[in-house]
Chain A
């Protein structure tokens, strides 16, 4: 385990949508400028975990600390101010708004105009089409806009829910290359991903979920070589 400062600490996290728990006591830690892949089969609780961190899961107990502060009781709209950026799996842009408007609507961004220009410098394609309606963008362009929107607030933690799920195969490598750059921007990243092998390949750490619990965790390169990990997520695109 590295000595870097923990950015995200989750302890005994339980919860779900209705009566039945989907998360059954998850513990994990993500440290500064590191990437953590959360993998597992369908129904293991990966996306539910992502939703719990950003505040979209209706029923949650346990502990979620971001930069040392417990955010479990913080309302969803205020979690961004705690340094969390989130890219959902689907519907990850405001389709009816222009590219620029997608960035303008993000609340609480100091020096907003400059930050938008910084995003356009990071994603030049978006800058070229800044007046285009987000609903008219291709899957890859939408993904870039979703990242730019999430990065607007200068997050310290990015939560990515299946960031490659809606992409054409040719664009998947581009997306992982983009995610691999996030630590250089000072951002720690938790990726929930079906393409576990590719995701682990750009990650520092990995956690494999099974039945709403962490079944296996460790350094990403160790997990990649571990046949038990493969057995837990195989059957998925790898």
Chain B
């Protein structure tokens, strides 16, 4: 039962990692670089949610603020930075994204200070189910994550712009000669990625404490999950996030809280040794 409880705890953490990994993998798949600003963009989402929540006391408004503000930030960063660097090397874009992350973190530190801030959510009695203790707030967060995931997958698989995004991710040149306008796809991509990152940041902020370093610490697990899921595979990123979240929680009794993050990388190494393209990666997708 003890381990079952750890699995339940790990699933919520895994959803956060999965959402962050989804953002990483979408950018990698379509824009072709590893966006190291993902973690700090999550932090921005957490602060946006915090402001929305403090102003209204409504979690729905907090969610809306996180999604809206982070999507707008993401689009702005694309327009001002990444759009101008289109066609540059993967390394140049990665290094630039590290710089964007640093800038974002510094600005958040200057504006909000380095004090840790908390979401004040009402205390509710936990639900007991067959010996498992489930926090109703976790269930709400899981529901938010599920809605966000369904939304992203609906956009990707059931809308024309989503299909075009997947087409560009699959074969950029063929997309161009098929009349697909790269600019429109990129705008949709960065809005979508911003929204997902905002939700992930809000969830992380609500589960922990909000500080300018919040998302930076989530970047490595997000990258690990994106690679583990098969880089460029949205389904893989989410499932790998869940796997890593559960693996981290299950390892806590053995390695302690401090070292549970390293378990992500042990799992990553083991999977990549057996299946180098990740759990859901396709060979033709690796370019």
Contacts and interface: CB of A to CB of B under 8 A. Distances in A.
Given A88-B174, A91-B174, A105-B164, A96 B180 contact: no
Nearest to A86: B177
A56 interface: yes
Contact of B166 (A80, A93, A96, A107): A96
Given A77-B182, A104-B160, A94 B167 contact: yes
Contacts of B163: 97, 101, 104-105
Given A97-B166, A101-B163, A104-B160, A80 B174 contact: no
Interface of A: 54-56, 76-81, 84, 86, 88, 91-97, 101, 104-108, 135, 149, 153
Q: Which of A80, A94, A105, A108 has the most CB of B within 10 A?
A: A105
Given A77-B181, A104-B160, A97 B167 contact: yes
A96 B174 CA distance: 13
B176 A76 contact: yes
Contacts of A108: 179
Nearest to A87: B177
B213 interface: no
B170 interface: yes
Nearest to B181: A77
B108 interface: no
Given A96-B284, A105-B164, A106-B178, 7 more contacts: A77-B176, A80-B177, A91-B173, A94-B171, A95-B282, A105-B167, A105-B180
Q: Which of B169, B171, B284, B285 has the most CB of A within 10 A?
A: B171
B271 to A, nearest CB: 21
Interface of B: 160, 163-164, 166-167, 169-171, 173-182, 282, 284-285
Contacts, number: 75
15 contacts: A55-B176, A77-B176, A80-B178, A88-B173, A91-B173, A91-B174, A93-B174, A94-B170, A94-B175, A96-B169, A101-B163, A101-B166, A105-B160, A105-B167, A106-B178
Contact of B178 (A56, A96, A105, A135): A105
B170 A54 contact: no
B56 to A, nearest CB: 41
The 8 closest A-B pairs by CB, nearest first: A107-B179, A80-B179, A76-B176, A105-B167, A94-B170, A96-B170, A86-B177, A106-B178
Contact of A96 (B173, B181, B285): B285
Contacts of A153: 179
Nearest to A103: B178
Contacts of A96: 166, 169-170, 282, 284-285
Contacts of B179: 77-78, 80-81, 106-108, 153
A6 to B, nearest CB: 22
A108 B178 CA distance: 9
B177 A79 contact: yes
B166 A94 contact: yes
Nearest to A78: B179
Given A56-B177, A135-B282, A97 B170 contact: yes
Contact of A135 (B167, B176, B284): B284
Contacts of A86: 177
B174 A107 contact: no
Contacts of B182: 77
A26 to B, nearest CB: 20
A54 B169 contact: no
Nearest to A108: B179
A135 B169 CA distance: 14
A164 B174 CA distance: 18
A67 B173 CA distance: 24
Contact of B173 (A56, A93, A104): A56
Nearest to A153: B179
